[in-house]
A and B are shown apart, each in its own frame.
Chain A
Amino acid sequence: MTSGLTRRQVLAGGAAGGAALALGLNPAQAQTWPARPVTVICPWGAGGGTDATVRIVSAVLEKELKQPFNVVNRTGGSGVVGHAAIASAAPDGYTIGILTVEISMLHWQGLTEFRPDSYTPLALMNEDPPGIQVNASSPYKTVKELADAVKAAPPGKLKASGTGQGGIWHLALVGWLTAMGLKPDHVAWVPLNGAAPAMQDLAAGGLDIVTCSVPEARAMIEAGKARSLAIMAAERNPAFKDVPTLKEAMGIDYTTGAWRGIAGPKGMPPETVAAMTAALKKVNESSEFRDFMASRGFGVRWAPGAEFGSFMEAGDKAMGVAMKAAGLAKG
């Protein structure tokens, strides 16, 4: 009975918008955090990379902190629904979630009011740069040859995909095109439901270029159906040493990436934040997490708490500029 009452008080505190009240209640609570199961919201569906990442993180957290960490997939609306659910949860440390790069994009499109600063950042766990993939039977062997062909082609002739309209891989393409001095829509974007269908359509001959992370393209590349020409990152991916960076191959210093990090709603008690960041640091260093990320080819990138917050802020500004340039931002 007592625990039910405490929770109600906390909820009431949250509802009253009283972060101060929650803070006042929390010293006692923080010492025992987590005292009951924690819900971890994933804005993307089961089976995807984000889902896999959040499940491994939760499994290790559960082992570390001896409380269940239940992953729930709250999907839909290109991530809007799940991200909104994380931001509007009670900031008591019992509902957290995984943020993805989309949180720095959706509000520019006018699809949500939530921005990176609507959250309590806990830790950045991963970042994957996009690669440029073509069909294995295409004549382009290097990204330079492909770039020349793109420049020579009339606008809209070549088709590319990798995700939906205005998604992160669409912006990656736009970024590459503008870096070459071309218009954002010089290569037509075919909105598909993620990287897997795009890679399949690339192999089926329906597309010319697919921009998506190299791990997402990996199986098709290994099956000899596709080729990765370059990645838009500062360094090569150790799992794919043969793929050069854009800077190495063409001297274009354009990098971007899709990141994933753990965060909670705004106004979480600092003690809980500290406990959580410490636990996530252990996750990041655990062999389970490292082995998992390596086996999938996912990049590990670590930034705790406030550092993750400023990483998101910087990314958010860059996204705003890029999306306005591409005509994808609203207003």
Chain B
Amino acid sequence: MQFSDRVTGLFLVALGGLAAYGGSRLPPVPGQQVGPDVFPMVIGTGLCLCGALIALGVGKSFEEDPEDETLSATEVQSGPPDWWRGLMALIPPGLLLFYVLTVDRLGFVLTAGLMVLTTATALGARLRLAVPLAIVAPVLVHLLFSKLLRVPLPPGLIPMPW
């Protein structure tokens, strides 16, 4: 997930170009001198410019990020291979997608329980911690949101008594 500045810079140039092109195709609105096309074009140009500067390494001297060093220090350690750990990072967004796809069918408590269980075990929790957490946390969150905040959460297979 870590790329060189050249790669991210060129990506921004491409994105900026697309934004400007997409913006330029928007039709003008009668009575407005500055139409809906102008801002995307300005932003796209800005992105291109920044991307080019980044790719050329301008402004690199300002970067001082002590956090990065500590991060990479803890990362270099024995364990599963790199690509496996890289995939692990996709678990949280993947679980959110899982929530979107299944919550209406399975219901809130079940979906949430599975999410908590997966995240906890992925982070190395023992089942002794993960299972009770996966039962207690969703119920508490459900109580909080449906009672105090009145958010309608889908009941699904296991409706809550309140």
Contact assessment for B155 and A3 in the assembled complex, using a CB-CB cutoff below 8 Å: yes
Contact assessment for A4 and B29 in the assembled complex, using a CB-CB cutoff below 8 Å: no
* B159 in the interface (beta carbon within 8 A): yes
Nearest residue in A to B107 (C-beta to C-beta)? A4
Contact assessment for B31 and A4 in the assembled complex, using a CB-CB cutoff below 8 Å: no
Contact assessment for B31 and A3 in the assembled complex, using a CB-CB cutoff below 8 Å: no
Query: Chain A at the B interface: mostly helix, strand, loop or mixed?
Result: mixed
* B158 in the interface (beta carbon within 8 A): yes
A window 59-87: CB within 8 A of B: 68, 70, 72
Nearest residue in B to A5 (C-beta to C-beta)? B157
Contact assessment for A70 and B31 in the assembled complex, using a CB-CB cutoff below 8 Å: no
Question: Considering only CB atoms and an 8 Å cut-off, how many residues of chain B contact the other chain?
Answer: 15
Cβ-defined partner of A4 (8 Å) among B32, B150, B151, B159: B159
Nearest residue in B to A327 (C-beta to C-beta)? B30
Question: In whole angstroms, how far apart are the Cα atoms of A103 and B150 in the complex?
Answer: 27
Contact assessment for B155 and A4 in the assembled complex, using a CB-CB cutoff below 8 Å: yes
Query: Chain B at the A interface: mostly helix, strand, loop or mixed?
Result: loop
* B93 in the interface (beta carbon within 8 A): no
Question: In whole angstroms, how far apart are the Cα atoms of A156 and B150 in the complex?
Answer: 48
Question: In whole angstroms, how far apart are the Cα atoms of A70 and B145 in the complex?
Answer: 12
Nearest residue in B to A2 (C-beta to C-beta)? B159
Contact assessment for B156 and A189 in the assembled complex, using a CB-CB cutoff below 8 Å: no
Q: A188 to chain B: which residues have CB within 8 Å?
A: 31
Q: Mark A279-296, 1 if CB is under 8 A from B, else 0.
A: 000000000000000000
* B86 in the interface (beta carbon within 8 A): no
Nearest residue in B to A165 (C-beta to C-beta)? B29
Question: In whole angstroms, how far apart are the Cα atoms of A72 and B31 in the complex?
Answer: 36
Q: A165 to chain B: which residues have CB within 8 Å?
A: 29, 32
Q: How large is the interface on A (under 10, 10 to 19, 20 to 34, 35 or more residues)?
A: 10 to 19
Question: In whole angstroms, how far apart are the Cα atoms of A37 and B151 in the complex?
Answer: 11
Q: A7 to chain B: which residues have CB within 8 Å?
A: 155
Q: A4-B107, A68-B150, A70-B150 are in contact. Are A185 and B30 (CB under 8 A)?
A: yes
* B124 in the interface (beta carbon within 8 A): no
Question: In whole angstroms, how far apart are the Cα atoms of A15 and B152 in the complex?
Answer: 20
Contact assessment for B155 and A72 in the assembled complex, using a CB-CB cutoff below 8 Å: no
B window 4-44: CB within 8 A of A: 29-32
Q: B152 to chain A: which residues have CB within 8 Å?
A: 37, 39, 70, 72
Q: Mark B81-117, 1 if CB is under 8 A from A, else 0.
A: 0000000000000000000000011010000000000
A window 178-232: CB within 8 A of B: 185, 188-189, 191
Contact assessment for B158 and A156 in the assembled complex, using a CB-CB cutoff below 8 Å: no
Contact assessment for A4 and B30 in the assembled complex, using a CB-CB cutoff below 8 Å: no
Q: Mark B126-162, 1 if CB is under 8 A from A, else 0.
A: 0000000000000000000000001110011111000
Nearest residue in B to A71 (C-beta to C-beta)? B150
Nearest residue in A to B31 (C-beta to C-beta)? A185
Nearest residue in A to B29 (C-beta to C-beta)? A165
Q: Mark A1-28, 1 if CB is under 8 A from B, else 0.
A: 1011001100100000000000000000
A binding-site residues for B, Cβ under 8 Å: 1, 3-4, 7-8, 11, 37, 39, 68, 70, 72, 156, 165, 185, 188-189, 191, 327
- 14 example contacts (A-B, Cβ-Cβ < 8 A) are as follows A1-B159, A4-B107, A4-B155, A4-B156, A4-B158, A11-B104, A37-B152, A39-B152, A70-B152, A72-B151, A156-B31, A165-B32, A188-B31, A191-B32
Which 7 residue pairs across A and B have the least CB separation, nearest first?
A70-B150, A39-B152, A185-B31, A4-B159, A70-B152, A4-B155, A4-B157
B binding-site residues for A, Cβ under 8 Å: 29-32, 104-105, 107, 150-152, 155-159
